[in-house]
Amino acid sequence: MYRRDYIMRQIEFMVEVLQRLGGLVDERRYQAAMTVIDESMEELFGLNGTMVTRLFGREPLSQLTFGEAADLSQAKLIAAAALLQEAGDIQAEQGMADESFPFFASALELLLVALLHQDDSPLPEYAPDVAELTAVLDPFHLPPHLNQLLLRYYQKNSQYDEAENVLFDMVEELPEDAEIINMGITFYQLILKESDAQLEAGNLPREEAEASLAELLALRGDHF
């Protein structure tokens, strides 16, 4: 009961914060908006937004909620992802695309961690959208750990074609990385246990999946 009340209060808090941010951005008071984001992040984690983005690529951002109950952790991660997406939007609106990257990328990492451990609870309306974040990050190079989270997310959601695209981006970048090749082999071995209909629904027909598996096995020196 306590956790549910806490989550409801947090949702109300986030709705108010996002309304404030919308007003500040409309007035082009970007620095004031960033201050609101930092204060809100400190309310969640004791770290402001810039400090969180500095952890990106150095430490798993999931550690920000280490030891907390799953539902509380998910609520905090999604709230933080929403705030960091707002920060990225603010940078982008000012024409600072490079400065927007760590905010968008950190938002995506937090969101993916939350969604990979999501229970059956509905997401709040302010939860960011994976497709929207990947679209704004498309011009940038994503680090391996973020691509791995994307691969797991797409696999979990039966978006097999998207998972394959991410996988082969990683293989193309690091063609001799045994961990990535083994990850890909495991991915194909798992999805090939699905029915033809399920594979077709995920836009990755069996023949294509088998061909890709054979390609990865050849890279590893095996035979399909």
Going residue by residue through the chain (224 aa), what tens digit of pLDDT does each one get? Answer: 557 787 888 889 899 999 999 999 999 999 999 999 999 988 887 777 777 777 665 666 666 666 567 788 888 899 999 999 999 999 999 999 999 999 999 999 999 999 998 777 788 999 999 999 999 999 999 999 999 999 999 999 999 999 999 999 999 988 889 999 999 999 999 999 999 999 999 999 999 999 999 999 998 887 55
Please indicate, yes or no, whether residues 194 and 129 belong to a single structural domain of this protein. no
The full length of the chain comes to 224
pTM above 0.95, yes or no: no
Please indicate, yes or no, whether residues 113 and 50 belong to a single structural domain of this protein. yes
Rounded CA separation 210/102 (Å): 36
User: Kind and range of the H or E element at 194?
Assistant: none
Q: Is the dihedral of CA 161, 185, 198, 151 positive or negative?
A: negative
- Domain end, chosen from 106, 139, 172, is at 139
Q: Which of 72, 71, 67 is nearest to 44 (CA)?
A: 72
pLDDT single digits (tens) 172-189: 988 889 999 999 999 999
CB count, 10 Å around CB of 17?
A: 20
- Domain end, chosen from 110, 139, 168, is at 139
Task: State the pLDDT at residue 53.
Answer: 75
Please indicate, yes or no, whether residues 179 and 224 belong to a single structural domain of this protein. yes
- Domain end, chosen from 101, 119, 139, is at 139
Please indicate, yes or no, whether residues 118 and 161 belong to a single structural domain of this protein. no
205: helix, strand or coil: coil
User: How far lies 31's CA from each of 7, 105, 212, in Å?
Assistant: 28, 21, 48
Please indicate, yes or no, whether residues 97 and 198 belong to a single structural domain of this protein. no
Please indicate, yes or no, whether residues 42 and 102 belong to a single structural domain of this protein. yes
Domain that holds residue 208: 141-224
Please indicate, yes or no, whether residues 51 and 159 belong to a single structural domain of this protein. no
Please indicate, yes or no, whether residues 179 and 155 belong to a single structural domain of this protein. yes
* Contact call for residues 189 and 145 (beta carbons, < 8 A): no
Please indicate, yes or no, whether residues 31 and 122 belong to a single structural domain of this protein. yes
Please indicate, yes or no, whether residues 124 and 168 belong to a single structural domain of this protein. no
First-to-last C-alpha distance (Å) of the chain: 53
Please indicate, yes or no, whether residues 7 and 97 belong to a single structural domain of this protein. yes
Rounded CA separation 220/182 (Å): 8
pLDDT single digits (tens) 136-158: 999 999 999 999 999 999 999 99
pLDDT single digits (tens) 74-84: 888 999 999 99
Rounded CA separation 185/212 (Å): 9
209: helix, strand or coil: helix
* Contact call for residues 175 and 163 (beta carbons, < 8 A): no
Chain centroid to CA 132: how far?
Answer: 11
38-41 long-range contacts, CB within 8 A, separation 24+ = 40/13, 40/14, 40/83, 41/80, 41/83, 41/84
Task: State the pLDDT at residue 224.
Answer: 54
149: helix, strand or coil: helix
47-50 long-range contacts, CB within 8 A, separation 24+ = 49/83, 49/84, 49/87, 49/103
Please indicate, yes or no, whether residues 145 and 124 belong to a single structural domain of this protein. no
Tally of structural domains, the chain: 2
